[in-house]
Amino acid sequence: MKYGSQTTLKDHVSLEGIGVHSGKPVSITLHPAEPDTGIIFQRTHLEGGREREIPALHGSVIDTRLCTVIGDPARGSVGTIEHLMAALRGMGIDNVLVEIDGPEMPIMDGSSRAFVAAIDQVGVETLRVRRRLIRVLKPVRVDLGRAWAELLPAERGFQLDVEIDFDTPLIGRQRKVLDLTPETFRKELSGARTFGFVKDVEQLWKLGLALGSSLDNSVALGEDRVLNPEGLRYPDEFARHKMLDAVGDLALAGAPLIGRFRSYCGGHRLNFMVLEALFAADANWTILDQPVRRETGHAELSAGLAVAAFAPDTN
């Protein structure tokens, strides 16, 4: 991610779809936002006609089991935010108000492609305020069984190195390394779809989850083959989607990161945990190019960390 000015959208744009877990229709509208707003989710149609704004920050995270969820179950929350967050961070969008009329983002085709198309439809506006960046100063690492994730210092930009290892020849061991820019995100990551095993999805159906999952929005894996008639979009689509999820989850840092991210058999839980580890000590990070309109210190980003309800990722 380059230095420079903050950005937003030139106009509002709306999308409609279904929630992958609820199976219910949901509409979102992406609105331009003022400098230093960041990404804010505005839940509408809450009980009693209430609305609630939820900042897309790691301190707002309340669950990472099946997807990344921010907010408060009692007052309003939004789930499955990672694909939109990946599109916004990947395409270099700093400030957006996301109006949403339900508790879950639309899954669209299971990737970030529809959100990138929406950004392209209205265009990007450059704002006359400098972009804030977060530089990783010291290595931080988290482990969870054989899985791990870490953030490392780098001189410039943001690089991801994601490796997965599944005990099935349909996936096996895959690794993807990428320097994140709008160009590489669009070409290499935006179209990578979420995936899952049919046997696991059937169990989720019994629990009243994944009700919107279908071959239209997921790569479905049977015992010995990919069930989608069109097959895979990339030979390593599984690793690419894990990287897409990481881009979206790490966007909850609140500003683009300068550093390197590495993970092995990671997922939403580890992505969140490594952000917690980064912000656990001021010595781990610093802010570069602070906005000129408002002072921002370490406490603003690292305060109010929520404890996520941890459980294994399923996609």
Tell me: the pLDDT tens digits for 15-63? 999 999 889 999 999 999 999 999 999 999 998 889 999 999 999 999 9
291: pLDDT strictly greater than 50: no
306: pLDDT strictly greater than 50: no
Confidence band, pLDDT 50/70/90 cuts, at residue 204: confident
* Average pLDDT of the segment spanning 86-92: 98
- Looking at per-residue pLDDT, the higher value among 191 and 201 belongs to 191
**pTM to 2 decimal places:** 0.90
Give the type of residue at 178.
L
C-alpha 312/C-alpha 68 separation (Å) is: 12
Structure confidence at residue 218 (pLDDT): 95
Candidates 136, 127, 123, 181; CA nearest to 291 is: 127
pLDDT digit string (tens) for 5-18?
A: 999 999 999 999 99
The percentage of residues in the chain with a pLDDT greater than 90, rounded to a whole number, is 83
Q: Is-catalytic flag, 298?
A: no
* Average pLDDT of the segment spanning 143-148: 97
C-alpha 282/C-alpha 287 separation (Å) is: 10
Q: 100-109, 182-191, 218-227, 305-314: which range is least confident on average?
A: 305-314
Domain 5-302 annotated CATH 3.40.50.11540? no
Mean pLDDT of the chain: 91
242: pLDDT strictly greater than 70: yes
C-alpha 271/C-alpha 16 separation (Å) is: 28
* Average pLDDT of the segment spanning 216-242: 96
The percentage of residues in the chain with a pLDDT greater than 70, rounded to a whole number, is 90
C-alpha 201/C-alpha 220 separation (Å) is: 9
DSSP for 100-113, please give it. ESSSB-B-TTSSSH
Q: Where are the beta strands (DSSP E) in the chain?
A: 5-9, 13-18, 25-32, 39-43, 52-55, 61-63, 69-72, 76-79, 96-100, 124-130, 133-136, 140-144, 147-152, 158-165, 173-179, 195-197, 219-221, 257-264, 285-288
Buried b (16+ CB within 10 A) or exposed e, 54-92: bbbbbbbbbbbbbbbbbbeeeebbbbbbbbbbbbbbbbb
The answer to whether 58 is a known ligand-binding residue is no
Give the type of residue at 48.
G
* Average pLDDT of the segment spanning 107-112: 98
* Average pLDDT of the segment spanning 307-312: 30
Confidence band, pLDDT 50/70/90 cuts, at residue 299: very low
The answer to whether 245 is a known ligand-binding residue is yes
pLDDT digit string (tens) for 249-285?
A: 999 999 999 999 999 999 999 999 999 999 999 999 9
Confidence band, pLDDT 50/70/90 cuts, at residue 296: very low
Dihedral angle, C-alpha 61, 117, 170, 161, nearest 10 °? -60
Structure confidence at residue 3 (pLDDT): 63
Structure confidence at residue 305 (pLDDT): 32
Structure confidence at residue 8 (pLDDT): 98
Q: 19-33, 191-205, 252-266, 299-313: which range is least confident on average?
A: 299-313
Q: Which of 21, 31, 58, 268 is catalytic?
A: 268
Cβ atoms of 80 and 313 closer than 8 Å: no
The answer to whether 241 is a known ligand-binding residue is yes
Structure confidence at residue 98 (pLDDT): 98
